[in-house]
Amino acid sequence: MVDHYNKLVKLMARAFYDDLTSKGDNQPKTGRTDNRGIAVVVLDALTRRQWVREEDLAKDLKLHTKQLRRILRFFEEEKIITRDHRRETAKGAKMYSAAVAATADGHPTAREGEEKVKLHTHSYCCLDYAQIYDVVRYRLHRMKHKLKDELEDKNTVQEYVCPTCGKRYNALDALRLISFEDEDFHCESCNGRLEVESDKIASQEAGDGDDNVRRRRREKLKDMLQKMEVQLKPLMDQLSRVKDLPVPEFGSLQAWEARASAAGRAANGDINAADSKMSQMGYNGASIPYSGDTKVVVDFNGTEGKGEGIKSETESTSLKVLPPWMIRSGMVLTKEQRGEVKQETKMDGTSTSITAQHTDDKKSTTEQDDNKSLQDEYIKAYYAALLQQQQELQKKQELLNTTELVDPSSSASGRQVGVKSKRDDAEDDGTEWEETPIGGNGNGGFKVADLNLNVQAEEEPPADEEDEDDIDWEEG
């Protein structure tokens, strides 16, 4: 989603801001001071960030702050970025850096010497994707419109401008503008002689020349229009691609900071940034309606109470499925974050559950197209492990039965699990992660080795888990 928008930004940067110079026109451009293309660099850098402090950005880009600021101001005027200025103390700066630390692209270098900041005005900037989309569309529309109009001589209302006071009139005012002294139009306010507004592209060199010039002008316009269509095609394609996608929204600086640092804190600092980035986009912080569901599982385990508090807390902060490209080695992730579908709850140790498992697998494969190959391997590994487990299963079965005996309605609870798994499928993406904490909290008295395993999942050995992990890492 963000990728598409980022691509849009990059295309736009190259299409419209490629030859932008931040220097004033009065300075002669030598090879050294020629900084065309810097705007593209800045925009590209911004696509890799969210809110960023301008000094940090300057440092990262090895640009002078002033120079960067000039470019950013220009982009602000172009409505491409939003900026935020605030006076802040070291504390405020820390807040920002905490937020940065929580984002994927937080650059560690950017946080040096944060402590010595004392009530300075800091500026932050961020791409405004929603607006960019509109700005680009509007720009294209205007370009096309202007060329077409000129081609067909369609902008019928001629405009006049007063060279002295800059007041503008159009042909509908003509009656008021004629003076009786001469035949020209005169400005109402300063009586200056009006000039025909010529904002035409092709009319510069062609004065009121002969037919030949006119025809050449038409050809030139047509040519221009065609060239525009061809050269801006990628941009237009990207626009249409992006059309139905939700816009990545970072919110205001404050909101973003709060969210990012909250997400960072919630992940205990060890899940890095990628999560918080994900959670910022889709996640609105209030998805606790699941606590009811999970309670059912806990009841079944017969170990309620203990895990709940922690669970709901982690839930609220938790964890979206990470796309495979975001997973890097060294990240501490739960399986749910890797996008693996949970099977624990669906297996209650009966032989029927195995078939249920298969359907589950199939569903999840369709859901996660990108994980298909992974899924295949997973299935292979799973069957291997399953055989091996079949023996273990007997033992576990006995164990489970004993617990179910403790439970007043063992058969009922068995069904309950089935129901539960179905519901899981239905709202898969939402519910997947919610169970992690159950396992992770270690609330089961029946836990074997892996903390991530639920009671019902005990038949899935740790080795199996490891297999998946390996596959994951390679693919990622």
Partner 1 sequence: MFFHIVLERNMQLHPRYFGRNLRDNLVSKLMKDVEGTCSGRHGFVVAVTGIENIGKGLIRDGTGFVTFPVKYQCVVFRPFKGEILEAVVTMVNKMGFFAEAGPVQIFVSNHLIPDDMEFQSGDMPNYTTSDGSVKIQKDSEVRLKIMGTRVDATEIFCIGTIKDDFLGVINDPATA
Angle at 300 between CA 294 and CA 303, to 5 degrees: 85
Q: What is the binding site for partner 1 (CB under 8 A)? A: 153, 156-158, 160, 171-172, 174-175, 178, 183-185, 196, 208, 211, 214
The Cα–Cα gap between 398 and 414 comes to 15
Which of 173, 469 has the CB closer to partner 1? 173
Nearest Cα to 339, choosing from 433, 256, 447?
433
Check: CB of residue 309 under 8 Å from CB of residue 454: no
Which of 170, 410 has the CB closer to partner 1? 170
Which of 25, 183 has the CB closer to partner 1? 183
Which of 188, 392 has the CB closer to partner 1? 188
- Distances in Å between the Cα of 355 and the Cα atoms of 113, 377, 398 are 59, 18, 21
CB of 196 to partner 1, least distance (A): 7
- Distances in Å between the Cα of 467 and the Cα atoms of 155, 391, 460 are 69, 20, 12
Q: Which residues contact 330 (CB under 8 A, 6 or more apart)?
A: none
Which of 75, 169 has the CB closer to partner 1? 169
Residue 406 identity: V
Which of 196, 419 has the CB closer to partner 1? 196
Check: CB of residue 101 under 8 Å from CB of residue 273: yes
The Cα–Cα gap between 470 and 415 comes to 34
3-class DSSP state for residue 106?
A: coil
Which of 44, 159 has the CB closer to partner 1? 159
Q: Which two tokens stand for residue 112?
A: 């040096």
Which of 211, 270 has the CB closer to partner 1? 211
CB of 289 to partner 1, least distance (A): 58
Nearest Cα to 89, choosing from 111, 117, 69?
117
Which of 158, 373 has the CB closer to partner 1? 158
Cα 59 to chain centroid distance, Å, stands at 24
Residue in the block written with tokens 């249409």:
240
Which of 221, 393 has the CB closer to partner 1? 221
Which of 9, 187 has the CB closer to partner 1? 187
Check: CB of residue 232 under 8 Å from CB of residue 239: no
Check: CB of residue 457 under 8 Å from CB of residue 317: no
Region class of 37: left (phi > 0), else alpha (psi between -120 and 50), else beta = left
CB of 138 to partner 1, least distance (A): 24
CB of 176 to partner 1, least distance (A): 9
- Distances in Å between the Cα of 55 and the Cα atoms of 41, 267, 407 are 16, 28, 62
Nearest Cα to 469, choosing from 304, 338, 285, 299?
338
Nearest Cα to 39, choosing from 54, 27, 22?
22
The Cα–Cα gap between 94 and 100 comes to 9
Which of 77, 211 has the CB closer to partner 1? 211
CB of 157 to partner 1, least distance (A): 6
Q: Which two tokens stand for residue 80?
A: 């491409």
The Cα–Cα gap between 198 and 204 comes to 8
Q: Which two tokens stand for residue 433?
A: 């992660």
Check: CB of residue 51 under 8 Å from CB of residue 126: yes
